[in-house]
Structure 1
Amino acid sequence: MGLKDCVLIVEDDDLLQESLWNLLEELGYTVCGAADTADKAVALATRHDAMVVLMDVRLRGNRDGIDAAREIHKRTGTPIVFLTGSNDTTTLWRIYQEHPAAVLIKPADPHQLESVLSEIEKNLHTE
């Protein structure tokens, strides 16, 4: 596998994290790691050259996924796909301030996730 071919999962729910990991592998992606806090997410993202970060909004710890996404994008430029169960306008406004590659509402539809990842992968290969 070449550069930027893995996906980083940031999700605080262990069952959802495992489910996403399995789905990504079924879709042919390599998962480079998973985190449940903003600090772990930033550390993993700076260690791996991921194609994309799948980011939950609510995480364990003091910072949320939006804070982590801002720092990851600033440090690495890695595209962020937010996964959220929230339809709160303030939360959605904060998400869109970070210019995400996509926002998927939980539970994420596997076909929609596959489509988003394919589009990101295609864009990376045309840069």
Structure 2
Amino acid sequence: MLGSNRALDAATKALVAVYPHFRGSDVAPNALQCYGTGLRVLRETLNEPGQACSPYTLCAIYLMTICQSWLRSCEDESEIGHGEALAYLLKNLDLNKCQGWFEKEMITTLTVVVVRLKIRCLVVTC
């Protein structure tokens, strides 16, 4: 799937750069730069009507969410906001265009993520 979507490519590069730091070690400037570039490219892609709800863009959001969780040092409720964004994009996804294995697996994975975050949100507010 790499090479088919700019956001997915940038998110993958960020994930690879951030991975060595997910156990809390000092983050290299290069990892932060890749993460920032990934966010910028993702924002640009989300502004493109034909790309915003593509499975590749959804995957890029998921990878950037993983990067964010590895980079932060304490719990933060921003994950819930990402869940809201993923829920919105999943709701607006044209399921008729999602026939391949990658698309089906992304939809399943992200649906589980959204449900988990929604449950977490309910538990936190109770």
Same fold (TM over 0.5): no
Question: Could you say which structure has the higher strand fraction?
Answer: 1
Query: So what's the TM-score if we normalise by structure 2?
Result: 0.31
- Higher relative contact order, chain-length normalized (CA < 8 Å, sep 6+): 2
Q: Which has the larger radius of gyration?
A: 2
Query: So what's the TM-score if we normalise by structure 1?
Result: 0.31
Question: Could you say which structure has the higher helix fraction?
Answer: 2
